[in-house]
Amino acid sequence: MNDPHAASLQASTVSAQTRIKVWDILVRTFHWTLVVSFTTGYLITDKFPLHAYAGYTIFALVMLRVIWGFVGTKYARFSAFTYSLNETVQYLLSALRMGKAREYLSHNPMGALMVYLLLAMLLFNAVIGTMLYGAQQLEGPLADIVPTLWDENLEVVHKFMAKALLTLAAFHLAGVLWSSWWHRQNYVLAMFTGYKSAFTRREHREGSGEVWTSEERTRHHKQQR
Ligand code: HEM
Ligand code: HEM
């Protein structure tokens, strides 16, 4: 006989399993504050100290995210999205073939590379910008420390890095949208709500139909050793 209580319990268990909290509040706030600061810093370059404040905010955000990468929640930690070269190549190949997608709850291997690159370049350019501010306008924490003679070179580097960052951000957005389609997951929504779905319409792992979460993958690799 059908037990409605059992059925509703089962349904709630399934829905609890299918929606997994991945991005904590810090990661989500970090991301969208970063997007606003980056856009402000990129578009407003003739108003000081506004431009500098946008840059300092980026610096502080990235520093916080780096600390969170070591002590933060499970999927936010660097260890959750640091992959071997082999796994990265496998993922890239299956992406190029548009084969069956392996699901990752944290960043996928290509996304992770982009995240590391973005974080490093953002930090670097915020420091270069602060040096430039000191050398050119004799303002900011590095005024009187950075020689004024360096201003032209610093400006070249700062402008070049800003353009490189914009290009990376465009690739990042394209990658997010493309993988959302490929994995049949709305990753942009996940960066707002924090939740990802553990089961997608596509099969995982060479057609076995298994869902590979990062914990299962870690367990699998440990067993193989
Ligand atoms: C990652 C963060 C940053 C980004 C993306 C960024 C972006 C830019 C861009 C796009 C320009 C204009 C380039 C052009 O005219 O072609 C610029 C110029 C400049 N930025 Fe930044 N910036 C950042 C951080 C900073 C910081 C933290 C400071 C200072 C504290 C700073 C100081 C300057 C200065 C002094 C200029 C030259 C302004 C001029 O002479 O026209 N920037 N930045
Ligand atoms: C409207 C434009 C943007 C959208 C829709 C967007 C969307 C996303 C999404 C969905 C993720 C998570 C990807 C995943 O699930 O693996 C992500 C991560 C990330 N994005 Fe963006 N992004 C945008 C712009 C930017 C910009 C401009 C930057 C920096 C210049 C940036 C830097 C990052 C970083 C550093 C992460 C890693 C987050 C973390 O682990 O803390 N994003 N973005």
Give the pLDDT confidence score for residue 18 in this predicted structure.
Answer: 67
Dist. CA 65–CA 166, nearest whole Å = 20
User: Which residue among 31, 34, 117, 197 is best mutated to probe the pocket of ligand 2, counting the most ligand atoms within 8 A of its Cβ?
Assistant: 31
Name, in order, each residue with C-beta under 8 angstroms of 166's C-beta and a sequence gap of 6 or more. Answer: 42
CA of 131 to the centre of ligand 1 (A): 10
Task: For residue 36, give the H/E element and its range.
Answer: helix 25-43
Q: Is the CB of 191 under 6 A from ligand 2?
A: yes
Nearest ligand, measured from the Cα of 61: 2
CA 209 to chain centre: 27
Give the pLDDT confidence score for residue 103 in this predicted structure.
Answer: 77
Dist. CA 125–CA 70, nearest whole Å = 23
Chunked into runs of 10 residues, the chain (225 residues) has average pLDDT values of: 42 51 97 98 97 98 98 96 92 81 86 98 98 98 97 98 98 95 89 82 40 51 54
CA of 158 to the centre of ligand 1 (A): 6
C-beta of residue 22 within 8 angstroms of C-beta of residue 195 = yes
3 state DSSP class of 87:
helix
Name, in order, each residue with C-beta under 8 angstroms of 80's C-beta and a sequence gap of 6 or more. Answer: 74, 105, 106, 214
Give the pLDDT confidence score for residue 171 in this predicted structure.
Answer: 98
CA of 187 to the centre of ligand 1 (A): 30
C-beta of residue 39 within 8 angstroms of C-beta of residue 57 = no
At 160-184, the pLDDT tens digits run 999 999 999 999 999 999 999 888 8
CA of 27 to the centre of ligand 2 (A): 10
Give the pLDDT confidence score for residue 155 in this predicted structure.
Answer: 98
Give the pLDDT confidence score for residue 199 in this predicted structure.
Answer: 58
Going by CA atoms, what residue is nearest to atom 16 of ligand 1? 159
Going by CA atoms, what residue is nearest to atom 9 of ligand 2? 188
Q: What residue ranges define each of the domains in the chain, with the CATH number in brackets?
A: 21-224 (1.20.950.20)
Give the pLDDT confidence score for residue 223 in this predicted structure.
Answer: 61
Dist. CA 105–CA 110, nearest whole Å = 13
b/e sequence 138-167, b meaning 16+ C-beta within 10 Å: eebebbeebeeeebeebeebbeebbeebee
Give the pLDDT confidence score for residue 209 in this predicted structure.
Answer: 43
Dist. CA 24–CA 161, nearest whole Å = 30
Q: Is the CB of 11 under 6 A from ligand 2?
A: no
Give the pLDDT confidence score for residue 100 in this predicted structure.
Answer: 67
- Residue 143 gets the label, from left (phi > 0), alpha (psi -120 to 50) or beta, of beta
Q: pTM of the prediction?
A: 0.86
